[in-house]
A and B are shown apart, each in its own frame.
Chain A
């Protein structure tokens, strides 16, 4: 390998290494401050992430329970509708019942009944 002029290589090394010994005042303090800030930032990110996960779980639970209550409501409504229908039927059949109750009376010979029958409504 070709060598540099007599003093050149040593001068080069001296110059470059002298550069590498120049201390930057307060550098380590700045690094430690930056590291602490970075640590706090990472802690905040970690807690935020955890909080977000918990919030997501909470929302998911709400949604699931909401769906359940919706189902429940639907079932309730259906039951109500059904009971309403039953009421209608009852109303109808109730009349029928009333008629049924009246039926024996109607079947019996009665002047009143006969009058009813005769009457052209």
Chain B
């Protein structure tokens, strides 16, 4: 996975320092933490709920909960894992609230990229294609593949977040890969 574009460098020590300040009621530290992490949290939520607006609302709730928990937060796990854990629980609540588990997460197409530039257009198309196929995966497979590939979490962390054994996580990811290969076959075979 060395060729993959890496997520913004997230310094764990800096997160811990900022969380300490947030616990003391420092809003600037909170703002910095949000700036550092909101993109990946909102991306995960958007991939799961399919709506940018809902994803942003839930994303705000993630950070409000983080703020509330700051005083009793213990840096046993990475803050990113903790945030995704909160986000995942909110996704489950959202599904419960809507009384349905979405079979397709994306109700609307992702925001288009810069269409004026050909390469940007192609990148936009590629992103859209991947978002669509990931959205078509069953919930467990989608969650597992998002946490692994998008959030770069370890199998053990994914298992904790999904409250499932590691073996189940591996199975879901294997099935997700198989299904993705099938769904994207046409895309890759088209010259």
Contact = CB atoms under 8 A, between A and B. Distances in A.
Contact of A19 (B46, B59, B181): B46
A118 interface: no
Contact of B1 (A13, A20, A29): A13
B127 A19 contact: yes
A22 B110 CA distance: 11
B181 to A, nearest CB: 5
B134 A16 contact: yes
A27 B30 contact: no
Contact of A5 (B47, B149, B170, B188): B188
Interface stretch (B13-21, B31-39, B97-105, B156-164): B31-39
Interface in B17-71: 27, 30-32, 34-35, 38-40, 42-44, 46-47, 56, 59-60, 63-64, 67-68
Contacts of B4: 10, 13-14, 17
Majority-rule SS of A interface residues: helix
Given A4-B177, A5-B188, A31-B30, A17 B60 contact: no
Contact of A15 (B3, B126, B177): B126
Contacts of A35: 27, 30, 63-64, 67
B81 interface: no
Contact of A32 (B30, B44, B56): B30
B131 A23 contact: no
B182 to A, nearest CB: 10
A27 B42 contact: yes
The size class of the interface chain B forms with chain A is 35 or more
B191 interface: no
Contacts of A22: 39, 42-43, 111
Interface string A1-25: 1111101111111111111111110
Given A11-B130, A17-B6, 12 more contacts: A4-B181, A5-B188, A12-B149, A12-B180, A13-B5, A15-B127, A15-B131, A16-B43, A16-B146, A18-B127, A20-B43, A23-B39
Interface of B: 1, 3-8, 27, 30-32, 34-35, 38-40, 42-44, 46-47, 56, 59-60, 63-64, 67-68, 110-111, 123, 126-127, 129-131, 134, 146, 149-152, 170, 174, 177-178, 180-181, 184, 188
Interface of A: 1-5, 7-24, 27-32, 34-36, 38
